[in-house]
Structure 1
């Protein structure tokens, strides 16, 4: 049975839009990096179809045209493991869910790669100023369990209070650096990411909301918190790399990590 596979330009676009991170909010894998023992790079990402590529494939939509089936809009960037899972567990990963993953992940990438943020990371790497402040920033996040605790152990109002305090702490740290400096821009970016989370959950009553997988409000809150964790992890991992700061403990386990396997081919989806 013929398949409507993605062409290479579409795969590249999906990889770029995701910043080469798996779009599954439950996953933290980076799908690009150096190849050991070589000056070449290594990619382990997977351009998965949202609507199936063939009639016998998962999530196949007969209403889609061939052009729609091979378009960027019908693709999602995943690591090879998640690409395999979403295809083999079609019922647990309907097209609407994958579209939500893609939308939220790309919004997160847009948030953390705002104008000025990427340039600041490059400046951090070339000008190792204020390493003590960088360590203080990382320590603020390592000390907050909301970035690594199990979701069913979290109380939304406690999350809100912890994030409010964190924003105040970030503001105080800004007083120790020059306005517009690389560290200052990073602090502003972290604050904006937290504010984005508050915008996403402002319609919920966080005082009464509790863990309940059948409650759509809880599911939306959990998704927003996953996106927040991933966005913060993306930024803190880059900051730690810029200053060569070692990370450990539960928080470090939630940071993006490189999947060092071989390149994954376009799968069944």
Structure 2
């Protein structure tokens, strides 16, 4: 039986909606970046079917029409590894889970790419304003273990202190920017993302919380920190690319192209 594959325009739409990041909330892989040829980019990733394209595969729904199976509503953008796993494991990754991934990732990207942020990014790409400050922003974030250390090596209170210090340093950098300018807007967005993380974990006792797979509070904290890392990563990679600043160190390993 023929497969109801995604047409190329649908694949492109899914990739763009995901900002070329894997939609799995437990994954940080970026699926686009520079290739070995300096004149060409490298695009990887996988437009995965939520309900399979043909019978006998994961989550196939006989009630769907061919048009529904090959529509953007039935797809989500994943890195190659996550796409392969999801395509082979219907029990571990049911329809509701995948739709939840897509909805959460779409919401996160929409929150980041609000109009002021998007307009500012385009201005930065065109003019590369205040490059010294942009380099300092990238260096501040890529050097912080809170954005790349193993979760079982993290202490929530240490995460809070590191983020408090980062917000303080970002505020100092804002004083060097033109108020309301594009780079100022980008720095404000980074601060808002951190505040959103604080709001989400406000009910937790960060001073006593420790890594424990059986503790629902730890699981909640880990999910919130994963979301923070991905959101900050998307913003920082966009800023670095606008200025052609290479992202380095352990942080770069998480956001290197798949």
TM-score, normalisation: structure 1: 0.81
1:258 maps onto 2:257 in alignment: yes
* Structure 1 residues 16 and 233, CA gap change in structure 2 (3 angstroms): same
Cα distance in 1 for partners of 2:37, 2:140 equals: 36
Query: 1:13-71, CA deviations, whole angstroms, 9 ceiling, x for partnerless residues?
Result: 32221122221234344334577769776643322122333342113345x53365444
For residue 115 of structure 2, give the secondary structure of its aligned residue in structure 1: coil
Cα distance in 1 for partners of 2:246, 2:36 equals: 21
- Per-residue deviation at 1:104? 2.5
1:218 maps onto 2:215 in alignment: no
- Per-residue deviation at 1:178? 1.5
Query: 1:202-239, CA deviations, whole angstroms, 9 ceiling, x for partnerless residues?
Result: 34333343322333433332222122112212222222
- Per-residue deviation at 1:246? 3.2
Question: In 1, are the aligned partners of 2:211 and 2:218 still within 8 Å (CA)?
Answer: yes
Cα distance in 2 for partners of 1:8, 1:242 equals: 27
For residue 258 of structure 1, give the secondary structure of its aligned residue in structure 2: coil
Alignment of 1:106-185 (within 5 A): 106-185=106-185
Query: 1:231-261, CA deviations, whole angstroms, 9 ceiling, x for partnerless residues?
Result: 212222222233333332212222x3334xx
Structure-1 residue corresponding to 2:49 = 49
Cα distance in 1 for partners of 2:195, 2:35 equals: 37
Cα distance in 2 for partners of 1:110, 1:52 equals: 27
Question: In 1, are the aligned partners of 2:25 and 2:101 still within 8 Å (CA)?
Answer: yes
Cα distance in 1 for partners of 2:251, 2:145 equals: 8
* Structure 1 residues 34 and 9, CA gap change in structure 2 (3 angstroms): same
Structure-1 residue corresponding to 2:64 = 65
Length, aligned pairs only: 257
Cα distance in 2 for partners of 1:130, 1:114 equals: 22
Cα distance in 1 for partners of 2:61, 2:117 equals: 39
- Per-residue deviation at 1:75? 1.6
Question: In 2, are the aligned partners of 1:104 and 1:227 still within 8 Å (CA)?
Answer: no
Cα distance in 2 for partners of 1:179, 1:142 equals: 25
1:235 maps onto 2:235 in alignment: yes
- Per-residue deviation at 1:106? 1.6
- Structure 1, unaligned stretches of length 5 or more? 260-269
* Larger deviation, residues 53-62 vs 162-171: 53-62
TM-score, normalisation: structure 2: 0.84
- Structure 2, unaligned stretches of length 5 or more? none
Alignment of 1:96-111 (within 5 A): 96-111=96-111
Structure-1 residue corresponding to 2:187 = 187
Structure-2 residue corresponding to 1:5 = 5
Structure-1 residue corresponding to 2:81 = 81
Question: In 2, are the aligned partners of 1:105 and 1:227 still within 8 Å (CA)?
Answer: no
C-alpha RMSD of matched pairs (Å): 2.8
Task: Point out which structure has higher relative CO (alpha carbons under 8 A, 6+ apart).
Answer: 1
